[in-house]
Amino acid sequence: MKKSQVIIDKEYIVSEIDKRVYGSFIEHLGRAVYEGIYQPESPFADEQGFRKDTLELVKECNVPIVRYPGGNFVSSYRWEDGVGPKDQRPSQVDLAWEVVESNQFGLNEFVEWSKKAGSEIMMAFNLGTRGIQEAKNLLEYCNFKSGTLMSDLRRSHGYEQPHNIKTWCLGNEMDGPWQIGQKTAGEYARIAHETAKALKILDPNIELVACGSSHSHMPTFGEWETTVLDECYDKVDYISMHQYYGNRDNDSANFLASSVDLDQFISTVVSICDYIKGKHHGKKNINISLDEWNVWFHSEEADKHLEKWIQKPHQLEDIYNFEDALLVGSMLITILRHADRVKIGCLAQLVNVIAPIMTSDTGAWRQTIFYPYMHAATLGQGIVLNTIVKSPVYEAKQYGEAPYLDCVVIENPEKEELVVFAVNKDLEEAMEVSLDLRQYADYRIQEHLVMHNDDLKAINTEENPNNVVPKSGGNSKIDGGFLQAVFERTSWNVIRLMKHTCSLLRSPD
């Protein structure tokens, strides 16, 4: 059995976790909105037409923030088409996904849905086919109190109080040739800067995310971030990163090593942010909004054969298997290990479209990737400890040297809890792991959850929704001040330790 060592120090902290790092994403795409979160004709719908079964699963994940309305969709979207009386809303072509958008669900419905889901909103402006004026109008509609054309339009739609949306994206993937209104780095930098200037005059409380690269292998990666941030340093707060992986060659060891690529991608973007900060003699850090990340490849072939210009097709409906859940776990660990700079993260997406939650006319169910996401979002609160992982490594075809063990330890001082998230990527063997707990001598194991399946390709379906689920009762104990655990081969592990307080029994006087 291979052995690993995990080292932490109470005082050696990466950062407090920004809860927005566990965000997600709803795009007008496929069946994410229609049939995913909104389906008035469904027996599962509430009085506003929202699917109650979906809402329940979203709440189970404690989703803190949801990005909306795109994605590629936003780059030719007119937000005005989706507000006001529903019978007056126009249907429009959606150039990004070559479908028809009915606009029966729009901004105000999303605001209502988010209240029910208990999540904040992260909105995106269209900087593809539109510019400063329309972005200003949208912000004015959402955040300006009253007495102006746009704020009074909102009030006439039944929203007396502003929505006060804080986090905004300046466009989406503007570096991508697939994007409607794609721009060069220089073109985007100028429009982003001037739009940001106008928006922050209108509402200085907002936070703005500039578009970074669409993925780590974009030919313009690096140069793009440098150009955009050089121009926008004083006006924006975050740079975005997007990253999806897929096991296209059916090489599981290599696929599971993709988190090494994500780690390097984040580190490089952080370096660029800091270079620009130095160049501008600035005080503020530009942080990272990893506002699209996931596994995405299963649906690629099926999507090539979709009928065009219809509504709500079964598009990007990846059915996730067990190894996808392992990578999602590893990606979450990687994100947390960079919690000092990754402040927003959006698992893309939330329902039906490359999503942890699926719906049909007869119900909603959890895909395999639901579990690591839910565990991290609900249990991973507090402070990330600098987690040194001494793990044996292997050579991955695409990514080079990769550790067998991914691990991060989180301390929640409020709850007096320590949480260990770990993935053993070894395809053959269990791993013996020891973690020095001597600074946490009074902590005891509460629970050791394990997600493992002998079949890496095992999936959950509506008929068999509990095929791949976590189980409690993992192999771990505390021995001589050490947490000693055995992580099964290819497994996702969550160990919760809580401070043990002996209640002193007093004899009656």
Write out the catalytic residue numbers. Answer: 173, 292
Selection from 348, 345, 379 nearest residue 18 by Cα: 345
Interface with ligand AHR, residue 70, by CB under 6 A: yes
Report how many residues bind ligand AHR under the rule CB under 6 A. Answer: 11
Give the residue with the Cβ less far from ligand AHR, 108 or 349.
349
Q: What is the largest CA-CA distance in the chain?
A: 82
Taking CB under 6 A as the binding criterion, the range among 70-78, 80-88, 119-127, 461-469 that sits at the site for ligand AHR is 70-78
Give the residue with the Cβ less far from ligand AHR, 344 or 396.
344
Instruction: Work out how close the CB of 72 gets to ligand AHR at its nearest, in angstroms, rounded to a whole number.
Output: 4
User: Contacting ligand AHR (CB under 6 A), which of 71, 82, 212, 403?
Assistant: 71
Residues in CB range of 394: below 8 A, 6 or more apart: 253, 257, 401, 402, 404
Residues in CB range of 489: below 8 A, 6 or more apart: 424, 426, 427, 428, 429, 430, 431, 452
* Whole-angstrom Cα Rg for the chain: 23
Instruction: Work out how close the CB of 370 gets to ligand AHR at its nearest, in angstroms, rounded to a whole number.
Output: 17
Map the footprint of ligand AHR across residues 427-486, applying CB under 6 A.
Answer: none
Instruction: Work out how close the CB of 437 gets to ligand AHR at its nearest, in angstroms, rounded to a whole number.
Output: 40
Give the residue with the Cβ less far from ligand AHR, 358 or 451.
358
Taking CB under 6 A as the binding criterion, the range among 68-76, 80-88, 127-135, 377-385 that sits at the site for ligand AHR is 68-76
Give the residue with the Cβ less far from ligand AHR, 173 or 323.
173
Residue 142, SS3 per DSSP: helix
Cα dist from 83 to 51, 105, 474, whole Å: 20, 8, 50
Instruction: Kindly state the helix (H) or strand (E) to which residue 123 belongs, with its residue range.
Output: strand 120-124
Separation of alpha carbons 363 and 385, rounded Å: 40
Separation of alpha carbons 431 and 424, rounded Å: 7
Map the footprint of ligand AHR across residues 270-299, applying CB under 6 A.
Answer: 292
Interface with ligand AHR, residue 172, by CB under 6 A: yes
Give the residue with the Cβ less far from ligand AHR, 292 or 340.
292
Which amino acid type is present at position 222? G
Separation of alpha carbons 324 and 330, rounded Å: 10
Which residue number has the CB closest to ligand AHR? 71
Instruction: Work out how close the CB of 234 gets to ligand AHR at its nearest, in angstroms, rounded to a whole number.
Output: 26
Token pair for residue 71? 């994605």
User: Contacting ligand AHR (CB under 6 A), which of 72, 119, 243, 359?
Assistant: 72
Taking CB under 6 A as the binding criterion, the range among 33-41, 66-74, 108-116, 437-445 that sits at the site for ligand AHR is 66-74
Please name the residue that has the structure tokens 């126009």.
Answer: 90
Give the residue with the Cβ less far from ligand AHR, 173 or 324.
173
Instruction: Work out how close the CB of 460 gets to ligand AHR at its nearest, in angstroms, rounded to a whole number.
Output: 21
The helix/strand count (H/E) of the chain reads as 11, 25
User: Contacting ligand AHR (CB under 6 A), which of 20, 21, 22, 27?
Assistant: 27
Q: Is 217 exposed, middle or buried (CB count within 10 Å of its CB: 0-12, 13-18, 19+)?
A: exposed
Separation of alpha carbons 71 and 209, rounded Å: 14
Question: What track of x and - describes contact with ligand AHR for positions 204 through 223 (by CB under 6 A)?
Answer: ----------x---------
Map the footprint of ligand AHR across residues 329-358, applying CB under 6 A.
Answer: 348-349
Interface with ligand AHR, residue 181, by CB under 6 A: no
Q: Sign of torsion, CA 95 98 102 107?
A: negative
User: Contacting ligand AHR (CB under 6 A), which of 101, 140, 173, 406?
Assistant: 173
Instruction: Work out how close the CB of 313 gets to ligand AHR at its nearest, in angstroms, rounded to a whole number.
Output: 14
Give the residue with the Cβ less far from ligand AHR, 24 or 381.
24
Taking CB under 6 A as the binding criterion, the range among 69-77, 78-86, 458-466, 481-489 that sits at the site for ligand AHR is 69-77
Instruction: Kindly state the helix (H) or strand (E) to which residue 419 belongs, with its residue range.
Output: strand 417-424
Q: Is 290 exposed, middle or buried (CB count within 10 Å of its CB: 0-12, 13-18, 19+)?
A: buried
Token pair for residue 162? 């502003």
Selection from 346, 446, 431 nearest residue 65 by Cα: 346
Question: What track of x and - describes contact with ligand AHR for positions 97 through 136 (by CB under 6 A)?
Answer: ----------------------------------------
Interface with ligand AHR, residue 411, by CB under 6 A: no
Residue 233, SS3 per DSSP: coil
Interface with ligand AHR, residue 76, by CB under 6 A: no
Instruction: Kindly state the helix (H) or strand (E) to which residue 133 belongs, with its residue range.
Output: helix 132-143
Give the residue with the Cβ less far from ligand AHR, 126 or 214.
214
Give the residue with the Cβ less far from ligand AHR, 178 or 309.
178
Which amino acid type is present at position 9? D
Instruction: Work out how close the CB of 115 gets to ligand AHR at its nearest, in angstroms, rounded to a whole number.
Output: 24
Ordered alpha helix ranges (H), 308-369: 322-337
Q: Sign of torsion, CA 280 285 289 290?
A: positive
Instruction: Kindly state the helix (H) or strand (E) to which residue 94 belongs, with its residue range.
Output: strand 92-94
Instruction: Work out how close the CB of 73 gets to ligand AHR at its nearest, in angstroms, rounded to a whole number.
Output: 6
Instruction: Work out how close the CB of 372 gets to ligand AHR at its nearest, in angstroms, rounded to a whole number.
Output: 19
Q: Residues in the site for ligand AHR, rule: CB under 6 A? A: 27, 70-72, 172-173, 214, 242, 292, 348-349
